[in-house]
Amino acid sequence: MLKEYENPLLERKEVEFEVTHVKASSPSRFEVKEKLAEKLGVDPKFVYIIKMETKTNTWKTFGIAYVYNSEERAKLLLPKHIILRNLPKEEKEKVEKEKA
């Protein structure tokens, strides 16, 4: 983790992170979400990866994540596509089938 900010107005913690993955492909959002939740000591369902970017010719991925106090607060503030991106693969497929 690089930086951590408490945002009391939006009832969330904003985290800037860096993941090093030597000689491996970029980690998935879900993997990063699980590791961040473990490191911060929170439930993974409260962690939302907003942005992840791997720099060219490096083994580092940088990103931004928000940690909310509740799922309801996250659903109120985050765009639907961000919430969908942060779902596990099985749940994401289920939601997409329901839309069709």
CATH (residue range 3-99) = 3.30.70.330
Query: Which pLDDT does position 93 carry in this prediction?
Result: 76
Q: Is the pLDDT of residue 7 over 70?
A: yes
26-40: b (≥16 Cβ within 10 Å) or e: ebebbebbeebbeeb
- Distance (Å, rounded) from C-alpha 12 to C-alpha 3? 14
The larger pLDDT score, comparing residue 64 to residue 25, is at: 64
Q: What angle do CA 44, 47, 53 make, to 5 degrees?
A: 120
Query: Which pLDDT does position 90 carry in this prediction?
Result: 79
The larger pLDDT score, comparing residue 76 to residue 2, is at: 76
pLDDT in tens, 44-98: 999 999 999 988 888 899 999 999 998 899 999 999 989 988 888 777 777 777 7
**Structural contact between residues 17 and 2, judged by C-beta atoms closer than 8 angstroms:** yes
Q: Is the pLDDT of residue 1 over 70?
A: no
Query: Which pLDDT does position 12 carry in this prediction?
Result: 93
The model carries a pTM of 0.85
Per-domain residue ranges of the chain: 3-99
pLDDT in tens, 35-57: 999 999 999 999 999 999 988 88
